[in-house]
Amino acid sequence: MFRYREVYSDIKRDILTNHYRAGHALPTQDELANKYDISRITLKKSIHLLEEEGLVFSKQGSGTFVRQRMNNQSGELLPLDLPVGVTYSHRDQKITSKILHFDARLPSKEEQKNLQIKGNEPVYEIKRLRLINGEKYSFEHTLMPVSIAPLDEKIIQGSIYDYLGSKAKLQLTDAQRIVYAEAADEEAASILGVKVANPLFVIKQTAYDQRGRAFEYSISKFIGDQSQFVLDVHLNK
């Protein structure tokens, strides 16, 4: 991969994970060039890609800023190639959650395998309906080892990733995602407000922290004709 594309992808990840916040300036070109050990010419190519994508804009004499999402943008492009949650991918939208189920139990064989835990290690089971600007967006079924961090209903009402990052000092660094389509069963249809057998887009994910621990196994279901996803593909040259 060209170096400028690697830098573009890294800065884009920092924008989507809210490391660089909407409305705020990026580090200066000299700071970014030093950080990535590249020339300013190479950096400008990276910034140009970000500008074309509508993620940043430049003010002469002031620097480069992270762009706020425009009102006419639905913001429903969830990046499949970046391990981020809905709160980050839709960072300028109003994200709310309706808790459908929250409890602790022992894991199934499949959950033990995906979370790399033993059968006597309890997990939190969380089912949430996620809403964007009051509209139903996804049905999330999440399993998380109890040993990762103490959770309660107040925490899972918001962004679990935010809580884990600020309180447990846990960073989501990698994820394995399997994407597929399936017909809505009675549970998903009732929660998402669609008919049984309507098509749903599904993401099955195992998330890993900075130490390589699997800390989340989840299945998220999205209404087929109301969700869009993006995958950036770069060819190695």
pLDDT digits (tens, 9 = 90+) for 105-121: 999 999 999 999 999 99
> Among the listed ranges 31-40, 49-58, 150-159, 180-189, which one has the minimum average pLDDT value?
49-58
pLDDT band at 85 (very low <50, low <70, confident <90, very high): confident
pLDDT band at 5 (very low <50, low <70, confident <90, very high): confident
Average pLDDT over residues 151-162: 92
Please give the span between the terminal C-alpha atoms of the chain, in angstroms, as a whole number.
5
The helix/strand/coil state of 24 is coil
Altogether, the residues listed in the chain come to a count of 237
Q: In the prediction, which pLDDT does 70 show?
A: 46
Measuring CA to CA, how many Å separate 52 from each of 31, 40, 55, 81?
22, 18, 8, 19
What is the Cα gyration radius of the chain? 19
Measuring CA to CA, how many Å separate 59 from each of 8, 20, 24, 148, 185?
19, 17, 12, 43, 50
Query: For the residues of 30-55, what is the DSSP string, one character each?
Result: HHHHHHHT--HHHHHHHHHHHHHTTS
pLDDT digits (tens, 9 = 90+) for 14-36: 887 667 878 889 999 999 999 99
Average pLDDT over residues 123-139: 95
Give me the chain's average pLDDT, please. Answer: 87
